[in-house]
Amino acid sequence: MKTGRLALAAALAAALVVPGRATAQTPAGTPAEMVATYNALADGILALKKTEDSLVRSILAATLAHGQGALARAQRAIAASDAKAAAAAVEALAADAAQLGTEGDNAVGAVRRRLLEGGHHHHSSASQAQGAYEDGYVVVTRTAKTQLLASSRTIAGMAAAPKADALAAEWKKVEGIAGGLLKAR
């Protein structure tokens, strides 16, 4: 992406070279058509950033819904004294909590790495410098990631002998964190 931006900048700079003599009284300005084109490019870049934000929020919402289904399966299995099904549902729930903390699974992480390697950062350098977000993360803050991964470990620790009330209480924490991330803009 950096190479593309550099090439665009070079092309714009070359196009700004106007034959003839510039005098002190007539400063050369950027042609209005070029400014309009650059403005349209900026609109496109910003639209892509907004789309990325919406997509990541959709990933989080889908993962949250999947987790709610896993919690329901775990609670049914616990009530039925089906230890094997309960353990499997609790493990799925723990995985969902972890995926909320990491903005998706390994496949999404690979896309994030690709964007970073291409020079794309969703947040400004200043925001990154403040440490609120890890490189490549769009919605999940470092603090939320830490909390969600801690809940994932807590839930995973319940797989051997899950208790419905303890499981529901820990998932309630996850829902609170994720809900805050989904509504924050």
pLDDT at 145 over 90: yes
Residue with tokens 């949250």: 64
Question: pTM for this one?
Answer: 0.78
> Has residue 128 got a pLDDT over 80?
no
Q: Can you give the pLDDT at residue 106? A: 94
Per-residue confidence band for 150, with pLDDT thresholds at 50, 70 and 90: very high
Over 90: is that where the pLDDT of 151 sits? yes
Rounded mean pLDDT, 99-105: 96
Would you list the domain boundaries of the chain?
A: 38-183
Query: DSSP readout, 67-108?
Result: HHHHHHHHHHHHHTT-HHHHHHHHHHHHHHHHHHHTTS-HHH
138 token code pair: 């769009």
